[in-house]
Structure 1
Amino acid sequence: MFSRLRLRALAVLLSCGAIFPLQAASQPEGHFAEQQLRHIATYFPGRMAGSPAEMLAADYLQHQFSSMGYESNKRNFNASYQYRSQDGRLTPGNVTATSVIAARAGKVPQQIVIVTHTDTYLPLSDSDRQHNLGGLTLQGADDNASGLGVMLELAQRLSKVPLHYSLRFVALSGEESGHQGEQDYLDRLKPEEKKNTLLVISLDSLIVGDKLYFDSGSATPKAVARQTRDRALAIARQYGLAATTSGEARKPPAEDLFDKAGFPLLSVRAANWDLGNKDGQQQRAASRHFPQGTSRHQASLDNLAWLDRWLPGRITQRTRTTVKILLPLISELANPKSAI
């Protein structure tokens, strides 16, 4: 029964989604990203690792990349977690998560990797469920349909651009349960692939935070930071767009595994480091509509209806800003006058 329903739903979604890439090039920057963000949040809520919604989302993403001309494939991997019940008892759980990878070869094998995550939060305790964290109703519009939407528009607009360096787009699952998707991706990299990865651009939670941050990882050479983070901020100034950096001493947490593995990194996410939080997790000042200063993992807040009502115009603004900055940046990096 599930198989027939899944195939029927997938056929409808793919037939609707197939027209998107043909429309994107003629639209303003950010329009396609917003369209995709809304589509993914609406049709694939509860994208928990190993869930039917996550599998459908992976199928959808692979179809989108393939329709743009990318070589695309899905990667399954085993993800584990511990569930804590009310009495403190821990129960191990295992799921099969699915990441999607799309690539387009340039003149040389060295590559730029754009990475984000597909999955929404998987409740890990009775307390999570009581507080409506994660679960089947979480649309994850900010975390992280926003990253997926921007990734898909970048992929579409870069699909016909001549490339010196290769491009790889990676939509990971299992990120909301200990960055297991990142670890699986890193574990599968061959030595030559590691050597050929010039830069990783990480996209995460681009909407709710007060400010859009471009930050380099701690392992990123200063010369690369100038050509990536600083260049992104220069492009923002050129177009009069709001963007900033958290500074040399404070590194956002989303980059942990790629940064620890020594890859040059550009992290793009929305938060508010000026609030005094040490880990960058607080996205905005606490308010009536965002009592904890964040919408992360909260089904009642991280959804299109809530964000459109209490942050009107923000989705349109942020998708436009992010694409308008990253598109010329990646185009320059993929076809440099001199190598990174």
Structure 2
Amino acid sequence: MFSFSRMTRTLLAMSLSCAGLGHALAASAPLPAMGFIASQQIRHIATYFPGRMAGSPAELIAAEYLNQQFTKLGYKSDLRGFDTRYLYTSSAGKKDWRNIHATSVIAARAGEVPQQIIVMAHFDTYVPQSDSDTNHNLGGLTLQGVDDNASGVGVMLELAERMQAIPTHYSLRFVALSAEETGTKGAEDFVNRMSAEEKKNTLLVINLSSLITGDRLYFNSGTNTSVAVAKLTRVRALNIARSLGIPAESHEGAHCCEGIKALDDARLPLLNVTATNFALGKKDGMQQRAISSHFPLGTTRYQSQFDNLQYLDKALPGRIEKRSRDTVKVLFPLLKDLAKPAKHA
């Protein structure tokens, strides 16, 4: 009998053989131009792991892939499973809890001291949470989730690869969350498992989400992030972007921590990186761009017919590569400076 675990291993092996991501296996080879690794990872994740809804086979296979990527880069990486649930509403208005077992990926490398910087991105795609969602083709098995959120994961993987050969004073942790599209359960689970000491030792969390569709990049601090930390992170990121001619803005307010409120509530210092347009609609950033024939809702979020490689390459040619390059160009020097080179390096 062809077991689920065997199917997972087989599909993962097929994914790795088709990846064309040899740079991750050859640490001695020079790294390609900024953003190349991220864009290739974005395309790979979207192509081979569509429908990676929390608790699904695709989610587990994607988690195994990410775990292998981090391990090959020399990080101590593990899968972290957790049970959660979400509320499903039928067309008749009946509400039922649906239980799922989700899997996040946690990769780490110790620095000279236990204080740490966390880079985070969720990799799961939207789970339909009502008959209405299903009828409107929101989420489901065909959603590639290029913008939301293969883009964040791709940039995170490139940052991990660029940092892997740099000894640092502070420890680094890379976190690929699941169950963010079922009520931000992944962030809640991550925070709940942190000890008081771990929270105290967390100097910054950089969260990456939806970097492609939106009009421009935003670097936002958490509502509970101190002015001093914001100056060292958000303000510096904006300065780096502007020095490179990369359009970037900041929008402080209640919506700066969308999807990671649990981290903000825990008073962890945050830098949230996304692409949207806070000047539109209700100024909550949920409308990513102006409404047009290509984007009739002003967003691609959860919509399988829009948030896929073929459509985005046609509607926004070159955008995946450009946003990958721009985001890495800003965040890599920022992360390298914040983590500080090790004294013995």
Change in Cα spacing, 1:25 to 1:270, as seen in structure 2 (3 Å) is: farther
Change in Cα spacing, 1:126 to 1:20, as seen in structure 2 (3 Å) is: farther
- Give 3-state SS (helix, strand or coil) of 1:308's partner: helix
Give the equivalent residue in structure 1 for 2:243.
238
CA deviation profile, 1:289-326 (whole Å, cap 9, x unmatched) = 11111000000000000100001111011000000000
Q: Alignment partner for residue 295 of structure 2, among 272, 290, 295?
A: 290
Give the equivalent residue in structure 2 for 1:12.
14
How far apart, in 2, do the equivalents of 1:158 and 1:84 lie?
Answer: 44
Change in Cα spacing, 1:261 to 1:149, as seen in structure 2 (3 Å) is: same
Q: CA deviation at 1:162?
A: 1.7
Tell whether the 8 Å contact from 1:216 to 1:265 is kept in structure 2 after alignment: yes
CA deviation profile, 1:170-202 (whole Å, cap 9, x unmatched) = 000000011101111111101111110010100
How far apart, in 2, do the equivalents of 1:268 and 1:12 lie?
Answer: 32
Q: Alignment partner for residue 73 of structure 2, among 65, 68, 71?
A: 68
Q: CA deviation at 1:270?
A: 0.5
Give the equivalent residue in structure 1 for 2:196.
191
- Residue 258 of structure 2 corresponds to residue 253 of structure 1: yes
Q: CA deviation at 1:276?
A: 3.9
- For normalisation by structure 2, the TM-score amounts to 0.94
How far apart, in 1, do the equivalents of 2:62 and 2:163 lie?
Answer: 22
How far apart, in 1, do the equivalents of 2:240 and 2:312 lie?
Answer: 27
Change in Cα spacing, 1:186 to 1:9, as seen in structure 2 (3 Å) is: same
- Please tell me the residue identity of whatever aligns with 1:21: A
CA deviation profile, 1:202-240 (whole Å, cap 9, x unmatched) = 000000000100011111111111110010011112211
Tell whether the 8 Å contact from 1:138 to 1:303 is kept in structure 2 after alignment: yes
How far apart, in 1, do the equivalents of 2:266 and 2:294 lie?
Answer: 38
Give the equivalent residue in structure 2 for 1:172.
177
Change in Cα spacing, 1:219 to 1:40, as seen in structure 2 (3 Å) is: same
How far apart, in 2, do the equivalents of 1:312 and 1:328 lie?
Answer: 27
- Give 3-state SS (helix, strand or coil) of 1:290's partner: coil
Give the equivalent residue in structure 2 for 1:21.
24
Give the equivalent residue in structure 2 for 1:80.
85
How far apart, in 2, do the equivalents of 1:90 and 1:2 lie?
Answer: 33
- Give 3-state SS (helix, strand or coil) of 2:293's partner: coil
Tell whether the 8 Å contact from 1:253 to 1:280 is kept in structure 2 after alignment: no
The 5 Å alignment of 1:1-340 reads 1-3=2-4, 4-17=6-19, 19-22=22-25, 25-247=30-252, 251-335=256-340
How far apart, in 2, do the equivalents of 1:25 and 1:217 lie?
Answer: 36
Q: CA deviation at 1:336?
A: 7.4
How far apart, in 1, do the equivalents of 2:51 and 2:187 lie?
Answer: 20
Matched residue count: 337
Q: CA deviation at 1:12?
A: 2.0
- Please tell me the residue identity of whatever aligns with 1:12: M
- Give 3-state SS (helix, strand or coil) of 1:254's partner: coil
Q: Where do 5+ consecutive residues of structure 1 fail to align?
A: none
CA deviation profile, 1:27-46 (whole Å, cap 9, x unmatched) = 11000000000000000000
How far apart, in 2, do the equivalents of 1:72 and 1:9 lie?
Answer: 20
Change in Cα spacing, 1:237 to 1:300, as seen in structure 2 (3 Å) is: same
Q: Where do 5+ consecutive residues of structure 2 fail to align?
A: none
- Give 3-state SS (helix, strand or coil) of 1:251's partner: helix
How far apart, in 1, do the equivalents of 2:122 and 2:255 lie?
Answer: 22
- Please tell me the residue identity of whatever aligns with 2:9: L
Greater Cα offset, 15-24 or 28-37: 15-24
